[in-house]
Structure 1
């Protein structure tokens, strides 16, 4: 059941200055327990060993008081390309054995190597609110609330994350894409169309940050995060 999604990622900031940018990329949707087995010539284009294991994710759920009955878990994320991966957002849709959705886990990574998992009890449209708990952008602190819409992908991929602080939405990120078959031909086509997609995405985020700094947007100090079952330093991920 693995699938590929060719997508456009957009970031929009409404404050303190208005700024927007978009870039094209692609994602994998896979079963956590059954990552794709690619022909060896294609393996440098898609590695999956950096993702959570079922034991790791179920341990996180148990620590949050959620029991898992071993149902399927779908993962949307970048694959490792030529040894590199950076995923600002990895989404896990955790199902019960009867196929119903139990919880969604939104795993956020920043460019400093930190990770935080948000456990979401979403409504029928994949929506939930959660308090922000990790420093992500140097232009925002850790205060505020995320309003997320993370419906399980079908033929279309449509994710939205909006950060609300002080009654205003100063930042929104969207991912919009279409499903394509996870074939060797599709992977080659997307890898050629969007070469080194995870690296390019990380460079765009950093370049955009430099641009905002040069426009006079103030830097918010980065707090010291303390490790917990839901938040730790990932460092170099294997």
Structure 2
């Protein structure tokens, strides 16, 4: 992944469409970062804090086991036997804190080899119960992951009370110049039941750009949990089947 120096701020939208019974769709503005872990200290500017409070900020405590982010992802790769395969730069796509708060439904860790080719992606998923799980994705032959290639994994972690913990996720990651797109399809019994698309356009991570984002999207990260519960209420009113939350999986990372 190559991105112009410090064009690590993205604005765009997230779109969800539920298919079948209780069909439903919505879209919201999106704000996220995508930056190389080796340069994470360079996130800091007068309006953006690195491991410290600011108007916007990134805290390593919000990810993995809460310690050094790069050390954690390297350990994850090593335990999966991918340390030599994905021995290059790791980029993290995630939402920043705003006014000290963030809830990240999913963050993506893009793990490259030394030639700059993408070899693995970790989807780090959080739910509103304070639980988290990671899906470690690779190509079927552990080869290079091409732009838009489909990566699959079994669903093992509770996210929404209106879907059970079964089925499969199908991910696609697209990078076109300064535009980033993530597509996720959730299948049950071979049929798509949910489609999600996250898109973003990169912009410089500078104080003037952050002020523009604040004016345009103000409370976007603060509203994530509110919007999740609002959409859940709409699904309940449409008669979507409610599923109680099961115990989380024993493994923190699955592949």
User: Shared fold (TM-score greater than 0.5)?
Assistant: yes
Q: Does 1:23 align with 2:46?
A: no
Q: Which residue does 1:192 correspond to in 2?
A: 215
Deviation at 1:227, TM superposition (A): 3.9
CA distance in 2, matches of 1:190, 1:215: 34
CA distance in 2, matches of 1:74, 1:153: 16
Deviations 1:186-235, CA, capped at 9 Å, x for gaps? 1111122111221212211111001111222121121111443427xxxx
SS at match of 1:185: helix
2:236 to 195, 210, 213: 213
2:82 to 55, 66, 71: 66
5+ long unaligned stretches in structure 2? 140-144
How many pairs are equivalent? 231
Deviation at 1:126, TM superposition (A): 3.8
Deviation at 1:109, TM superposition (A): 1.2
Deviations 1:28-69, CA, capped at 9 Å, x for gaps? 111113223433444323221123411111111122221146
CA distance in 2, matches of 1:16, 1:183: 45
CA distance in 2, matches of 1:229, 1:212: 29
5+ long unaligned stretches in structure 1? 232-238
Q: Which residue does 1:108 correspond to in 2?
A: 125
Check the 8 A contact 2:47/2:56 in 1, yes or no: no
CA distance in 1, matches of 2:46, 2:39: 17
Deviation at 1:116, TM superposition (A): 1.1
Deviations 1:137-175, CA, capped at 9 Å, x for gaps? 100111001011023464112111110002211111111
Aligned pairs (5 A) from 1:99-178: 99-122=116-139, 123-124=145-146, 125-152=148-175, 154-178=177-201
Q: CA RMSD in A?
A: 1.8
1:51 to 31, 38, 63: 63
Deviation at 1:15, TM superposition (A): 2.4
Divergent runs of 4+, >6 A: none
TM-score normalised by structure 2 residue count: 0.84
Check the 8 A contact 2:10/2:31 in 1, yes or no: yes
TM-score normalised by structure 1 residue count: 0.90
CA distance in 1, matches of 2:48, 2:123: 28
